[in-house]
Chain A
Amino acid sequence: AAGVIQSPRHLIKEKRETATLKCYPIPRHDTVYWYQQGPGQDPQFLISFYEKMQSDKGSIPDRFSAQQFSDYHSELNMSSLELGDSALYFCASSLRPETFYNEQFFGPGTRLTVL
Protein backbone atom coordinates (compact mmCIF):
# COMPACT_ATOMS: atom_id res chain seq x y z
CA ALA A 1 0.00 0.00 0.00
CA ALA A 2 1.14 3.53 -0.70
CA GLY A 3 2.57 5.39 2.26
CA VAL A 4 3.49 8.97 3.05
CA ILE A 5 6.57 10.02 1.11
CA GLN A 6 8.99 12.59 2.39
CA SER A 7 11.96 14.11 0.64
CA PRO A 8 14.77 14.47 1.11
CA ARG A 9 15.43 11.80 3.74
CA HIS A 10 18.57 13.56 4.93
CA LEU A 11 19.58 17.18 4.63
CA ILE A 12 22.63 19.04 5.86
CA LYS A 13 22.63 22.83 5.94
CA GLU A 14 24.71 25.62 7.35
CA LYS A 15 23.42 28.15 9.87
CA ARG A 16 21.36 30.94 8.29
CA GLU A 17 20.65 28.88 5.19
CA THR A 18 17.19 27.86 4.03
CA ALA A 19 15.70 24.43 3.60
CA THR A 20 12.57 23.04 1.97
CA LEU A 21 11.08 19.73 3.04
CA LYS A 22 8.47 17.98 0.94
CA CYS A 23 5.66 15.66 1.87
CA TYR A 24 3.44 13.59 -0.40
CA PRO A 25 0.41 12.25 1.47
CA ILE A 26 -1.28 8.93 0.97
CA PRO A 27 -3.60 9.08 -2.06
CA ARG A 28 -7.05 10.47 -1.16
CA HIS A 29 -5.77 11.92 2.10
CA ASP A 30 -6.53 15.63 2.19
CA THR A 31 -4.98 16.57 5.53
CA VAL A 32 -1.29 16.95 6.21
CA TYR A 33 0.46 17.49 9.54
CA TRP A 34 4.07 18.49 10.21
CA TYR A 35 5.96 17.48 13.35
CA GLN A 36 9.43 18.19 14.66
CA GLN A 37 11.20 15.61 16.81
CA GLY A 38 14.43 16.57 18.53
CA PRO A 39 16.85 13.97 19.95
CA GLY A 40 15.18 12.11 22.79
CA GLN A 41 12.03 14.20 22.44
CA ASP A 42 8.45 13.42 21.59
CA PRO A 43 7.10 14.73 18.27
CA GLN A 44 6.03 18.35 18.52
CA PHE A 45 3.16 19.46 16.33
CA LEU A 46 4.10 22.32 14.02
CA ILE A 47 1.24 22.94 11.61
CA SER A 48 -1.51 21.20 9.68
CA PHE A 49 -3.38 21.76 6.45
CA TYR A 50 -6.76 20.60 5.28
CA GLU A 51 -7.88 21.10 1.69
CA LYS A 52 -4.95 23.43 0.98
CA MET A 53 -5.76 25.75 3.87
CA GLN A 54 -4.00 25.98 7.18
CA SER A 55 -6.02 24.02 9.67
CA ASP A 56 -4.13 24.44 12.90
CA LYS A 57 -0.87 25.82 14.17
CA GLY A 58 1.36 24.53 16.89
CA SER A 59 4.85 25.48 17.95
CA ILE A 60 6.07 26.51 14.53
CA PRO A 61 8.69 29.31 14.57
CA ASP A 62 8.02 32.43 12.53
CA ARG A 63 11.09 31.53 10.44
CA PHE A 64 9.17 28.51 9.14
CA SER A 65 6.29 28.52 6.73
CA ALA A 66 4.35 25.79 5.01
CA GLN A 67 1.71 25.31 2.41
CA GLN A 68 -0.38 22.60 0.83
CA PHE A 69 -0.71 22.47 -2.93
CA SER A 70 -3.55 21.52 -5.25
CA ASP A 71 -2.30 17.92 -5.46
CA TYR A 72 -2.31 17.86 -1.60
CA HIS A 73 1.42 17.61 -1.26
CA SER A 74 2.92 19.97 1.27
CA GLU A 75 6.19 21.81 1.68
CA LEU A 76 7.78 23.10 4.87
CA ASN A 77 10.06 26.05 4.24
CA MET A 78 12.63 26.87 6.86
CA SER A 79 14.72 30.03 6.74
CA SER A 80 17.57 31.46 8.81
CA LEU A 81 18.34 27.99 10.07
CA GLU A 82 19.69 27.64 13.58
CA LEU A 83 21.61 24.83 15.22
CA GLY A 84 18.54 24.07 17.31
CA ASP A 85 16.54 23.29 14.17
CA SER A 86 18.47 20.05 13.80
CA ALA A 87 15.84 17.38 14.23
CA LEU A 88 13.72 14.77 12.53
CA TYR A 89 10.81 16.32 10.68
CA PHE A 90 7.84 14.08 10.16
CA CYS A 91 4.89 14.57 7.92
CA ALA A 92 1.67 12.70 8.54
CA SER A 93 -1.48 12.50 6.48
CA SER A 94 -5.06 11.58 7.20
CA LEU A 95 -8.56 11.95 5.92
CA ARG A 96 -10.38 15.15 6.79
CA PRO A 97 -10.09 15.93 10.49
CA GLU A 98 -13.84 15.90 10.98
CA THR A 99 -13.83 12.18 10.33
CA PHE A 100 -13.76 10.79 13.83
CA TYR A 101 -11.27 8.02 13.33
CA ASN A 102 -8.79 10.10 11.43
CA GLU A 103 -5.76 8.01 12.07
CA GLN A 104 -2.59 9.78 11.03
CA PHE A 105 -0.12 7.89 8.92
CA PHE A 106 3.43 9.05 9.36
CA GLY A 107 6.15 9.30 6.76
CA PRO A 108 9.71 8.13 7.32
CA GLY A 109 10.88 11.61 8.23
CA THR A 110 13.56 14.00 7.05
CA ARG A 111 16.64 14.26 9.21
CA LEU A 112 17.85 17.86 9.13
CA THR A 113 21.31 18.64 10.43
CA VAL A 114 22.32 22.27 10.78
CA LEU A 115 26.05 22.87 11.08
Chain B
Amino acid sequence: GESVGLHLPTLSVQEGDNSIINCAYSNSASDYFIWYKQESGKGPQFIIDIRSNMDKRQGQRVTVLLNKTVKHLSLQIAATQPGDSAVYFCAERENSGTYKYIFGTGTRLKVLA
Protein backbone atom coordinates (compact mmCIF):
# COMPACT_ATOMS: atom_id res chain seq x y z
CA GLY B 1 0.00 0.00 0.00
CA GLU B 2 0.94 3.63 -0.33
CA SER B 3 3.22 4.81 2.40
CA VAL B 4 5.24 7.53 0.76
CA GLY B 5 3.93 11.04 0.77
CA LEU B 6 0.86 10.66 2.96
CA HIS B 7 1.08 14.20 4.31
CA LEU B 8 3.33 15.95 1.84
CA PRO B 9 2.69 19.27 0.18
CA THR B 10 0.95 18.72 -3.13
CA LEU B 11 1.30 20.53 -6.42
CA SER B 12 -1.49 19.97 -8.93
CA VAL B 13 -0.68 20.85 -12.52
CA GLN B 14 -2.64 20.55 -15.73
CA GLU B 15 -1.16 18.16 -18.27
CA GLY B 16 0.99 20.11 -20.71
CA ASP B 17 1.68 22.96 -18.31
CA ASN B 18 5.04 23.62 -16.70
CA SER B 19 5.67 22.57 -13.10
CA ILE B 20 7.93 24.25 -10.59
CA ILE B 21 8.86 22.42 -7.41
CA ASN B 22 10.79 24.29 -4.76
CA CYS B 23 13.16 23.20 -2.04
CA ALA B 24 15.00 25.02 0.73
CA TYR B 25 18.24 23.44 1.83
CA SER B 26 19.89 23.83 5.16
CA ASN B 27 23.66 23.85 4.94
CA SER B 28 25.67 26.54 3.19
CA ALA B 29 28.57 24.06 3.10
CA SER B 30 26.62 21.71 0.83
CA ASP B 31 28.39 21.39 -2.50
CA TYR B 32 26.16 19.17 -4.59
CA PHE B 33 22.41 18.87 -5.02
CA ILE B 34 20.20 16.24 -6.57
CA TRP B 35 16.54 16.01 -7.45
CA TYR B 36 14.91 12.61 -7.09
CA LYS B 37 11.55 11.29 -8.24
CA GLN B 38 9.88 8.62 -6.17
CA GLU B 39 6.90 6.66 -7.40
CA SER B 40 4.74 4.58 -5.13
CA GLY B 41 6.50 1.47 -3.87
CA LYS B 42 9.80 2.34 -5.56
CA GLY B 43 13.12 3.77 -4.55
CA PRO B 44 14.09 7.36 -5.38
CA GLN B 45 15.15 7.80 -8.99
CA PHE B 46 17.73 10.37 -10.07
CA ILE B 47 16.40 13.21 -12.22
CA ILE B 48 19.05 15.90 -12.39
CA ASP B 49 21.89 17.29 -10.30
CA ILE B 50 23.83 20.50 -9.96
CA ARG B 51 27.12 21.55 -8.39
CA SER B 52 27.31 24.47 -6.01
CA ASN B 53 29.43 26.45 -8.49
CA MET B 54 26.56 26.50 -10.97
CA ASP B 55 23.21 28.25 -10.84
CA LYS B 56 21.38 26.46 -13.62
CA ARG B 57 21.48 23.11 -15.31
CA GLN B 58 19.19 21.72 -17.96
CA GLY B 59 18.23 18.22 -18.89
CA GLN B 60 15.54 16.76 -21.05
CA ARG B 61 12.36 18.64 -20.06
CA VAL B 62 13.86 19.44 -16.64
CA THR B 63 15.82 22.40 -15.35
CA VAL B 64 17.33 22.85 -11.91
CA LEU B 65 18.00 26.32 -10.54
CA LEU B 66 20.23 26.96 -7.55
CA ASN B 67 20.20 30.17 -5.53
CA LYS B 68 22.95 29.91 -2.94
CA THR B 69 22.21 33.33 -1.50
CA VAL B 70 18.88 32.16 -0.09
CA LYS B 71 19.72 28.44 -0.09
CA HIS B 72 16.96 27.59 -2.52
CA LEU B 73 16.70 24.95 -5.17
CA SER B 74 13.97 24.52 -7.75
CA LEU B 75 13.03 21.91 -10.30
CA GLN B 76 11.19 22.96 -13.42
CA ILE B 77 9.44 20.34 -15.52
CA ALA B 78 8.34 21.46 -18.95
CA ALA B 79 5.16 20.15 -20.59
CA THR B 80 4.22 18.05 -17.59
CA GLN B 81 2.96 14.58 -18.44
CA PRO B 82 0.86 12.07 -16.46
CA GLY B 83 3.98 9.95 -15.99
CA ASP B 84 5.52 12.80 -14.04
CA SER B 85 3.09 12.22 -11.18
CA ALA B 86 5.20 11.23 -8.21
CA VAL B 87 6.82 12.57 -5.06
CA TYR B 88 9.86 14.74 -5.72
CA PHE B 89 12.70 15.15 -3.23
CA CYS B 90 15.70 17.42 -3.28
CA ALA B 91 18.85 16.20 -1.59
CA GLU B 92 21.92 18.16 -0.56
CA ARG B 93 25.36 16.70 -0.05
CA GLU B 94 27.05 18.07 3.01
CA ASN B 95 30.77 18.18 2.57
CA SER B 96 32.31 18.35 6.01
CA GLY B 97 35.29 16.13 5.45
CA THR B 98 32.98 13.23 4.76
CA TYR B 99 29.94 13.22 2.58
CA LYS B 100 26.42 12.97 3.89
CA TYR B 101 23.21 13.31 1.93
CA ILE B 102 20.23 15.06 3.45
CA PHE B 103 16.83 14.83 1.85
CA GLY B 104 14.36 17.67 1.95
CA THR B 105 10.64 17.31 2.48
CA GLY B 106 9.10 15.83 -0.61
CA THR B 107 6.47 17.42 -2.82
CA ARG B 108 3.75 15.37 -4.42
CA LEU B 109 3.12 16.32 -8.03
CA LYS B 110 -0.31 15.48 -9.39
CA VAL B 111 -0.86 15.87 -13.09
CA LEU B 112 -4.45 16.57 -14.05
CA ALA B 113 -5.71 15.31 -17.39
Chain A contacts to B: CB under 8 angstroms: 4, 33, 35, 37, 39-40, 42-45, 48, 55-56, 58, 88, 90, 92, 97, 100-109, 111
The contact string, 1 if C-beta is below 8 Å from chain A, for chain B 88-108, is: 010000000011111111100
- Stretch from B41-49, B59-67, B77-85 at the A interface: B41-49
For the complex, give the distance between the alpha carbons of A107 and B41 in Å.
Answer: 11
Query: Cβ of A108: which chain B residues have Cβ within 8 Å of it?
Result: 42-43
Could you tell me if B3 and A88 are in contact, using CB atoms closer than 8 angstroms?
Answer: yes
Total A-B contacts with CB atoms under 8 angstroms apart: 64
For the complex, give the distance between the alpha carbons of A24 and B106 in Å.
Answer: 26
Known: A42-B105, A45-B102, A101-B32. 17 other contacts (CB 8 A): A39-B6, A40-B6, A42-B89, A43-B103, A45-B100, A45-B103, A48-B99, A55-B98, A56-B98, A56-B100, A58-B100, A90-B43, A100-B51, A103-B49, A106-B44, A108-B42, A109-B42
